[in-house]
Homo-oligomer: A and B are copies of this chain.
Amino acid sequence: MRRLSPLFLSVAALVASAQTVQVSSQGQQCLDCHSNTTPGIVEQWRGSAHARNKVDCYTCHRANEKDPAAFDHYGLKIAVIVTPTYCARCHTKEVEQFEVSHHAKAAQFIGSLDNMLGEIVEGGPAAVNGCRQCHGSEVKYLGDGKFHPDTWPNSGIGRVNPDGSRGTCAACHGRHAFSSAQARQPENCGKCHMGPDHPQIEIYNESKHGIQFRANIAKMNLESKSWIVGKDYSAAPTCATCHMSATSNQPVTHDVGDRISFTLRPVVSFKLENWEKRRAAMQDVCSNCHASGWVENFYKQYESTVDLYNEKFAKPAKAIMDKLYAAGKLSKTPFDEKIEWTFYELWHHQGRRARMGTAMMGPDYTQWHGFYEVAKTFYTEFIPEAERLMPGVSQDVMATDYHKWTKGLTKGGSSSRSSSTKRDTTSNAQQSAPSIQPVPGRLRKKLDGLRVLGRARGREPPEQSRSMPIIPLIFVIPRSGATRNLLFRIFCSLLVSNVAVQG
């Protein structure tokens, strides 16, 4: 044989996947029936590392002594649900790591607003088929290998199993291949980490990381047992790379939150316990591809975004809600007044998107799906709704530097004055303060922008696409000083006149 056609390779691959595997006599008994009744999962298993290592159906499904869901199935004592306790018979370390993770506690969101929504506002089946398919159900065994349909099928990551263990390895290592390669792929995490309130997969797909992954999936070495970034692969990071997988300096972990320093989940974000250690672990991953200056600056950008969200929108909105509750303007029942929904989306949906978008470098999620929506909701829904319930409740908030722009930029009023306050932007911690800052860089850019707007560009829109006259303004701008500040004020007025309904 001298030449190999691509066809041959496909055949070879098929032969490989249909390899004869050694199984126990009990395992053979399983296969005798299930090769016919559920051939798909038998085939998945045949192509798996389990099959190659003589781990058969019975190895995993053989019931533990204390499992209340054990039952007799054609003479063998088995369990339908293979819990982490079962997997730990071989994969002890992985299960131990998982058990202390945030993932293992995912079913315990009862008592939260989210659960209130699912169970009561929407209704039980919405929680069964929505919430709990990610968070996990509390599986109720009915005997004879059967389960209550409200609780199973369920592969939620925090599932409470009949044997008391929490979670399911199959949430990520899909039955019955239980492949590491699959768990390393971003879609795997996207089963739950998606949608309006935590669009991690969408953000990843937008990010450079996601783009590099899609373009170079063949170079990702996903099937390799060792999977150390910068060593076994370097084309792109996946979710697993940053949050779980090994680097040259740290081992793989199944405690998925271990490298997260900020929580972006609650109304107001804060740093977690041991955040420096967590951050160092993440930065160790980053540094495989990014120089230290890059990583350091990125974290400053990230923090400034969280800070802006916290200080400009989240804390003020929360303070207003607290006042409304305290004044009895809202009942204690959640979600029975419109503003409760508005506030909920502000932080739980839009505010998370803004924060997570920056954390994972998806600019459209930071901006259009994030801060744009936050600002729109805050100014056009939340504040007016609050004012209707309790006139004056937002007065203090709206008088701060952050929100003064709403009082008008052109009338020489308070916001113009605020905008002439000097401010040191090199201090990154203060970045989220009012944006109307006549600091040299920003001012030069704004004026440059105006020049561009006014310059003939050879692609001039026809008459009807302009709403207001545009005055060409090309002049020399001093790099600093009082003249510059004056020019900035003039610019603001012109900007407001010119852009009103201009694209």
Q: Is the CB of B289 within 8 A of A38?
A: yes
Cβ 8 A contact of A270, one of B9, B119, B446, B461? B461
| A479 on the B face (CB < 8 A) | no
Question: Contacts of A110 on B, CB cut-off 8 Å?
Answer: 445-446, 448-450, 452-453
Which one of B124, B380, B409 contacts A333 once the chains associate, using CB atoms below 8 Å? Answer: B409
Are the C-beta atoms of B121 and A370 separated by less than 8 Å? no
Q: Are B208 and A288 interface neighbours, CB within 8 A?
A: no
Q: Is the CB of B140 within 8 A of A334?
A: no
Q: Is A68 located at the chain interface by the 8 A CB criterion?
A: no
**Bound Cα distance A124, B442 (Å):** 10
> Bound state CA distance, A467 and B343, in angstroms?
13
Q: How far is the CA of A290 from the CA of B397 in the complex (A)?
A: 56
Q: Interface 1/0s, chain A 130-164, versus B by CB < 8 A?
A: 11111000101010011111111101000000000
Q: Which residues of B contact A185 (CB under 8 A)?
A: 211, 214-215
Given A9-B9, A230-B43, the answer on whether A149 and B428 have CB atoms closer than 8 Å is yes
Q: How far is the CA of A148 from the CA of B371 in the complex (A)?
A: 22
Q: Which residues does chain B contribute within 8 Å of A152, judged by CB atoms? A: 294, 297
Instruction: Please tell me if the beta carbons of B450 and A361 are within 8 angstroms of each other in the complex.
Output: no
Other-chain contact of A194, B206, B402, B437, B446 (Cβ < 8 Å): B206
Q: Are B215 and A187 in contact (CB under 8 A)?
A: yes
A229 touches B40 (CB 8 A): yes
Roughly how many angstroms separate A364 CA and B202 CA in the complex, as a whole number?
A: 13
Q: Do A288 and B39 have beta carbons less than 8 Å apart? A: yes
- State how many angstroms separate the Cβ of A194 from the closest Cβ of chain B: 5
A130 contact from B150, B332, B366, Cβ within 8 A: B366
In this assembly, does A393 line the interface, its C-beta being within 8 Å of a C-beta of chain B? no
Q: Is the beta-carbon distance between B375 and A122 smaller than 8 angstroms?
A: yes
Residue among B151, B191, B332, B347 making CB contact with A496, cutoff 8 Å:
B332
The answer to whether B174 and A190 touch across the interface, beta carbons within 8 angstroms, is no
Contact A124 B208 (CB under 8 A): no
* Alpha-carbon separation in the docked complex, A333 to B495 (Å): 9
Number of A residues with CB within 8 Å of any CB on chain B: 199
- CB neighbours of A25 from chain B (8 A): none
Asked if residues A450 and B499 are in contact (CB atoms below 8 Å), the reply is no
The answer, yes or no, to whether A26 is at the interface (CB within 8 Å) is no
Residues from chain B with a CB closer than 8 A to the CB of A332 are: 408-410, 496-497, 500
Using known A-B contacts A126-B354, A207-B191, A357-B129, determine if residue A441 contacts B197 with beta carbons closer than 8 Å.
no
- Alpha-carbon separation in the docked complex, A152 to B497 (Å): 32
Q: Give the interface SS of chain A, mostly helix, strand, loop or mixed.
A: helix
Residues of B within 8 A of A16 (CB): 5-6
Asked whether, in the complex, the Cβ of A503 is within 8 Å of the Cβ of B267, the reply is yes
Contact A408 B331 (CB under 8 A): yes
Residue contact B372 to A122, C-beta cutoff 8 Å:
yes
A98 to chain B, nearest CB (A): 17
Which residues of A in the span 180-198 have a Cβ within 8 Å of any Cβ on B? 181-182, 185, 187-188, 190-192, 194-197
Say yes or no for A476: interface residue by CB 8 A criterion.
no
The docked-state distance in angstroms from the alpha carbon of A461 to that of B270 is 7
Interface residues of A in 339-355 (CB under 8 A from B): 341, 343, 347-348, 354
* A437 CB contacts on chain B under 8 angstroms: 124
CA A146 to CA B297, docked complex, whole Å = 9
In the bound complex, do residue A287 and residue B497 qualify as a contact, i.e. CB atoms below 8 Å apart?
no
A269 to chain B: closest residue by CB:
B465
Rounded to whole angstroms, the CA-CA distance of A421 and B141 in the bound complex is 24
B235 pairs with A177, CB closer than 8 A:
yes
Structural contact, A441 and B150, CB atoms closer than 8 A? yes
Q: Which residues of the other chain, B, contact A80 by a CB distance below 8 angstroms?
A: 291, 293
Residue from the list B42, B130, B235, B315 in contact with A464, Cβ < 8 A: B315
A153 touches B297 (CB 8 A): yes
Q: Indicate whether A38 sits within 8 Å of B150 (C-beta atoms), given known contacts A129-B358, A343-B501, A503-B266.
A: no
A2 with B1: CB separation less than 8 A: yes
Q: Which residues of B contact A5 (CB under 8 A)?
A: 12, 16
A window 218-271: CB within 8 A of B: 218-219, 221, 229-231, 234-235, 248, 263, 265-268, 270
User: Digit string of A416-451 for contact with B (CB within 8 Å is 1, else 0)?
Assistant: 000000000110100110111100011011101110
Q: Which residues of B contact A43 (CB under 8 A)?
A: 230, 234
Q: Given the complex of chains A and B, what is the CA–CA distance between A300 and B290 in angstroms?
A: 49
In the complex the two chains form, is B368's CB within 8 Å of A197's CB?
Answer: yes
Q: Say whether B364 contacts A500, CB under 8 Å.
A: no
Complex Cα–Cα for A188 and B231 (A): 25
A272 to B462, alpha carbons, bound, how many Å? Answer: 9
Task: Name 15 A/B residue pairs within 8 A (Cβ), A-sorted.
Answer: A17-B219, A40-B230, A44-B234, A117-B375, A125-B304, A153-B297, A174-B215, A194-B206, A268-B465, A270-B465, A272-B459, A318-B467, A325-B501, A332-B410, A333-B496
